[in-house]
């Protein structure tokens, strides 16, 4: 952003309408739910308050989050930027933001709004003090000193979180106020997705999801009642949304509709409606990304979008063109990496799996503790799986997935190899590649390298900003795709091992490893040299993995991975632990190094992966705790 643009942007705040002439805005958000509401056509839902809100407002049918998990999504909502552009795509990371990217409530407050957040943030970066007047359990519009001051207040319902399904005590606590008529019979819920087995355990979790939503609906009603009691209902725009899909396997953390399609309901009082918008009891099918929520709040308040944004306003005056596509990304989920990208329009979804050799359900501590995941593991072991469940219990994924959402709403019929869709698939493939380049996808840079480069760049966003090797985003997008293209890509992968940038070399080494034994004859020497001489720890780890998968120089590979477990770079240690865990029996000689890695280990994710690897190698009788 140039100085002139910045100056013009802030001058606008001096010429906009007085604060008293602007609407209040109330956000009501929930965690970990899909649109299991009556107003969205669910026959079993008990959601009278949200159904009434939809009657008085607009129900959006094509709203999507930019990730299938909370923190990356929330970082995008608060900034209007893709998590992959600002470096907040990995769970529980802590990114540095440049001065040009600010939480949007700052702009509302500068324009005279009273801003409160009650109380979840989870932005994955330290938000400036001026973001909120109050953020915490006491945040409420009622606490503003001047009753005429407009407010932007956010309330977050955490009871629907996956822990509310997994933990019986939390579920009972959240739903204790429900009447018998608001309870569900698990055997009558015929909406269970086909990729779940219809066992009593799974149906109980599905039932809990519905009842938690009913408890949340009552919470929505309480806030609406408070607005009415305060005489503010007709002066307040209400926006209801969820941060991602259901807190169960193959939904939360995933980029399918089950993980990213969310309910969105907006009620605009008549006095604040722009012509053609906000008409009661209407349905809007435009494509909306969660990045658009904050930008729309600014626009409804009559404020300009920030100088840097990837979101758009879908309500208010002076709207920008509607979206043709929405995009999503999956990166590190707690202790496991799985780089996946998604493009969706109103009918089709395209998914690119950049690490297809990883199973759909990698072992992750949090979801594995849930009853449904345990049931999936049990039934898979017995071998009596429903067809759709069997698809997602596979030990690897297709490189590409393509779904017709109208014909296949559960996304179980992959059309990527159907010749009838070749032209359409190619269009989505190109749109995806362009998005990767245009948004400068930081998720394609291995996390250890991101942490090393962040300080030099001043922020994670600055790593791939203009002036920092402008050709790198295109080279990264190309080599990352080639890494899963098989033996035909081998010449390009070997050339990539010579690239000046470690991120490119990482994907080149990863791609050779993905090919495995067929790459051995032409690649072993180059990979061995990379293991010995590359300046990047994570590239050497990728080279060691490649040697193991080619079944050559295994002793050198294990020595390299064992050494990497002692790296001062925490995310390199995680990469090394993952490589050893995936190596199974090949990693037996690394048992002492894995045990040593657990001692005084500050990163809990490394502990989880090392423990998993050791327990698999040592057997049940000798499990490490």
Model confidence over 394-412: pLDDT tens digits?
999 999 999 999 999 999 9
Q: Tell me the CATH number of domain 3-163+236-320, given options 3.40.50.720, 3.40.309.10, 3.40.720.10, 3.30.450.40.
A: 3.40.720.10
Q: What is the DSSP letter of 587?
A: G
Are the CB atoms for 175 and 215 separated by under 8 Å?
A: yes
83: Cα separation from own chain's centroid: 8
User: 568 CB contacts (<8 Å, ≥6 apart)?
Assistant: none
Over residues 569-577, the mean pLDDT reads 98
Strand (E) or helix (H) holding 174: helix 168-174
The whole model's pTM is what? 0.95
What residues are paired with 154 via a beta bridge? 27, 117
State the SS3 of 119-170.
CCCCCCECCCHHHCCEECCCCCHHHCCCCCCCEEEEEEECCCCHHHHHCHHH
Task: Give the torsion through C-alpha atoms of 421, 423, 424, 428, to 10 deg.
Answer: 120
Average pLDDT over residues 144-148: 96
Q: In the prediction, which pLDDT does 377 show? A: 98
Q: Which of 70, 73, 93, 160 is catalytic?
A: 70
Tens-place pLDDT, residues 508-520: 999 999 999 999 9
Percent of the chain with pLDDT over 70: 96
Residue 381 burial (10 A CB sphere; 0-12, 13-18, 19+): exposed
DSSP state of 554: H
For residue 4, the model assigns a pLDDT of: 45
Q: What is the residue-averaged pLDDT of the chain?
A: 95
Is residue 61 very low, low, confident or very high in pLDDT (cuts 50, 70, 90)? very high
Domain segments of the chain as ranges: 3-163+236-320
> In angstroms, how far is the first alpha carbon of the chain from the final one?
51
Q: Please indicate whether residue 70 is annotated as part of the active site.
A: yes
Q: Confirm if 260 and 342 have CB atoms less than 8 A apart.
A: yes
Element at 102 (helix H, strand E)? none
Measuring CA to CA, which residue among 252, 213, 216, 211 is closest to residue 65?
252
Nearest CA among 522, 497, 521, 525 for reference residue 509: 497
Residue 5 has pLDDT above 90, yes or no: no
DSSP code for 360: S
């Amino acid at each position: 952003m140039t100085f002139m643009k910045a100056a013009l942007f802030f001058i606008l705040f001096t010429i906009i309408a007085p604060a008293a002439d602007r609407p209040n805005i109330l956000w009501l958000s929930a965690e970990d739910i899909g649109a299991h509401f009556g107003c969205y056509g669910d026959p079993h839902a008990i959601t009278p308050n949200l159904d009434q809100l939809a009657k008085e407002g607009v129900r959006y049918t094509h709203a999507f989050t930019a990730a299938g998990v909370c923190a990356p999504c929330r970082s995008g909502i608060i900034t209007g930027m893709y998590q992959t552009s600002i470096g907040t795509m990995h769970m529980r990371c802590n990114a540095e933001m440049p001065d040009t990217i600010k939480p949007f409530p700052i702009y509302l407050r500068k324009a005279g709004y009273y801003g409160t957040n009650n109380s979840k943030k989870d932005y994955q970066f330290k938000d400036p003090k001026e973001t909120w007047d109050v953020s915490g359990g006491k945040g409420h519009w009622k606490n503003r000193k001047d009753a005429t001051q407009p407010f932007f207040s956010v309330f977050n319902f955490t009871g629907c979180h996956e822990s509310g399904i997994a933990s019986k005590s939390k579920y009972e606590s959240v739903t204790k106020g429900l009447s018998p008529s608001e309870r569900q019979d698990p055997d009558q819920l015929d909406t269970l997705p086909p990729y779940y087995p219809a066992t009593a355990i799974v149906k109980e979790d599905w039932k809990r999801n519905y009842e938690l939503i009913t408890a949340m609906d009552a919470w929505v009603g309480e806030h609406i009642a408070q607005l009415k009691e305060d005489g503010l209902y007709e002066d307040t725009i209400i926006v209801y949304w969820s941060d991602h899909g259901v807190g169960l396997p193959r939904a939360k953390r995933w980029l399918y509709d089950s993980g990213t399609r969310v309910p969105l309901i907006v009620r605009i009082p008549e006095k604040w409606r722009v012509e053609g918008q906000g008409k009661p009891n209407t349905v809007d099918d435009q494509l909306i990304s969660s990045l658009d929520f904050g930008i729309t709040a600014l626009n409804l308040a009559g404020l300009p979008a920030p100088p840097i944004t990837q979101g758009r306003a879908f309500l208010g005056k002076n709207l920008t063109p509607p979206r043709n596509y929405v995009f999503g990304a999956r990166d590190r989920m707690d202790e496991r990496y799985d780089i996946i990208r998604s493009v969706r329009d109103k009918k089709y979804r395209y998914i690119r799996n950049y690490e297809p050799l990883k199973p759909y359900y990698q072992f992750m501590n949090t979801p594995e503790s849930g009853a449904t995941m345990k049931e999936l593991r049990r039934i898979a072991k017995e071998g009596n799986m429903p067809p759709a469940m069997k698809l997602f219990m596979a030990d690897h994924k297709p490189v590409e997935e393509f779904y017709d959402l109208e014909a296949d709403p559960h996304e179980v019929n992959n059309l990527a190899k159907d010749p009838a869709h070749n032209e359409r698939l190619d269009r989505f493939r190109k749109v995806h590649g362009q998005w990767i380049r245009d948004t400068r996808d930081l998720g394609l840079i291995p996390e250890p390298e991101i942490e090393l480069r962040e300080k030099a760049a001043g922020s994670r966003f600055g790593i791939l900003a203009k002036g920092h090797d402008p050709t790198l985003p295109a080279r990264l997008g190309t080599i990352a795709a080639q890494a899963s293209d098989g033996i035909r890509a081998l010449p390009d992968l070997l050339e990539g091992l010579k690239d000046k940038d470690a991120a490119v070399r990482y994907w080149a080494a990863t791609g050779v490893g993905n090919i495995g034994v067929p790459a051995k004859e032409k690649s072993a020497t180059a990979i061995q040299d990379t293991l010995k001489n590359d300046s990047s720890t994570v590239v050497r780890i990728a080279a060691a993995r490649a040697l193991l998968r080619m079944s050559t120089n295994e002793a050198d590979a294990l020595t390299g991975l064992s050494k990497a477990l002692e790296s001062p770079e925490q995310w390199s240690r995680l990469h090394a632990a993952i490589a050893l865990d995936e190596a199974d029996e090949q990693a037996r000689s690394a048992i002492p190094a894995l045990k040593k890695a657990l001692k005084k280990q500050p990163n809990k994710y490394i502990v989880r992966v090392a423990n998993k690897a050791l327990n698999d190698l040592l057997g049940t009788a000798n499990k490490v705790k």
